[in-house]
Amino acid sequence: MFFIKILITLTLVILLTEISKRVRPAVGGILMGLPLGAGLSTYFLAYEQGIPFLIRAIPWGILGLSSSLLFSLSYYLTDRWFPHPLRIIAALRSSLVAILVYGVVSLCLRALPLRIEVALLLTFGTIFLNLGLVRWLIPPSIKPPKTKFNLKLVLLRGLITAFTIASITGLARIIGPVWSGILSAFPIILFQVLVFLHVEEGPNVYPGIITGFAYSVMNLLLFYLLLAFLLPVLGLNLTYLIVYLFSMVFLYLLNRLRH
């Protein structure tokens, strides 16, 4: 199972990073709205811990989307307000701040008396507030120059992402459905693409990913809701097949509306 997680995650990271580098970065950000990291995490949670476990985790996954949005925004703001000439230092500093913000926000959300209505209301509010801030703060992205394929970096991306997903799903019995749900929303693939685009292409490229994600995160919200409604009725594999087909159609239409 661990090697299956590595293979799937590695393929997704390669695909999204290369798309983001060869077309407009905002297109890559739109694709971040696919249930990639969240999809892998929740699927393996349901497969290993059972569907009832995942159902209890879903409201917390919805809340975790707020943490993900603040994660991406804080990454950009740290780099903008405290720039550094060395890209690796700038990316590392932005990463540390973004992870800290995600953790603090998640701890605050964990203290809420959660109902699905509360999760939806808070998440909707965060999505629209973040969208307004992103449109105000982040300039239009530019198409970056093509860079050579670097197998070592690609493997590193995939391994880091796979290890993170394997850790979240492997610790599910210990941390329970609440934290499993919150951590399932951690934007691990978005994080990987942000960091490596930042280091490889500089500060003018990766912000487009954040802009695209600000729009496409709505699809992740629908993803969690569809799981909650369909899993008890259709079971694991058929539900995920339907949800992914819906996600691709939704994001295609969203991209057409934006352009």
Provide the sign of the torsion angle of the four alpha carbons 257, 8, 222, 193, taken in this order.
negative
pLDDT, one tens digit per residue, over 201-258 is 888 888 988 988 898 899 999 999 999 999 999 999 999 999 988 988 888 787 777 6
User: What proportion of the chain, given as a percentage, has pLDDT over 90?
Assistant: 40
Assigned token pair, 218: 């709505």
Cα-based distances in Å from 94 to 74, 193, 194: 7, 13, 10
pLDDT for 119-136, tens place per residue? Answer: 899 999 999 999 999 999
Whole-angstrom distance, CA of residue 90 vs CA of residue 165: 25
Is it the case that residue 154 has pLDDT exceeding 80? Answer: no
The answer to whether 30 and 254 are in contact (CB under 8 A) is: yes
Question: Percentage of residues in the chain with pLDDT exceeding 70?
Answer: 79
Which pLDDT value is given to residue 105?
A: 93
Tell me the residue range of the domain where 104 lies.
2-142+151-258
Query: How many separate domains does the chain show?
Result: 1
Residue 161 has pLDDT above 90, yes or no: no
Least confident of 27-41, 100-114, 182-196: 27-41
The chain-wide mean pLDDT, for the chain, equals 83
Number of residues assigned to the chain = 259
Higher pLDDT, 34 or 236: 236
